[in-house]
Amino acid sequence: MKVVFDTNVYISAFISPGSKAEEAYLLAVDGQVKLYTSVAVLTETAKKLREKFLWDDLRITAALKQISRVATVLKPVCRLNILSDAPDNRILECAKEAGADLIVTGDKHLLDLKQFKGIGITRISGFLYSFRR
């Protein structure tokens, strides 16, 4: 299964050990899903960790390197302008470029879409539920 995590999933995984987000991330670490991300998603993740959680550059770099070892990092060629929040569009671009099966997010605007060009959009709990069955 090809999966794209939204920025909020990465952030929750890194700031909340033992969380559902970390559990989802560890599925990718263990190779149970094929994770994809993009330069834009990594940049947004770094920005949020710096601004909202006051992480220093060394800690941010370590987190981004860890993600980059687990995920395939893409540079999408198409630019989308479907949602009003630009970072949400970067998630859709990444998923389209990856040919993803699923986007995992906590973002209401993305969740409201339910799917995008045949790519499902779900919360972390829904993603994990599919692995527990």
pLDDT band at 133; cut points 50, 70, 90: low
pLDDT at res. 132:
74
Q: Which fold has domain 2-128?
A: Rossmann fold (3.40.50)
pTM of the model: 0.94
pLDDT at res. 67:
98
108-129 per-position pLDDT tens digit: 999 999 999 999 999 999 999 9
Q: Where are the alpha helices (DSSP H) in 1-133?
A: 7-15, 20-29, 39-51, 57-70, 86-98, 108-113, 124-132
pLDDT at res. 80:
92
Which stretch of DSSP H or E encloses residue 5?
A: strand 2-5
pLDDT band at 131; cut points 50, 70, 90: confident
Q: Is residue 130 pLDDT above 90, yes or no?
A: no
What would the two tokens of residue 62 be?
């370590």
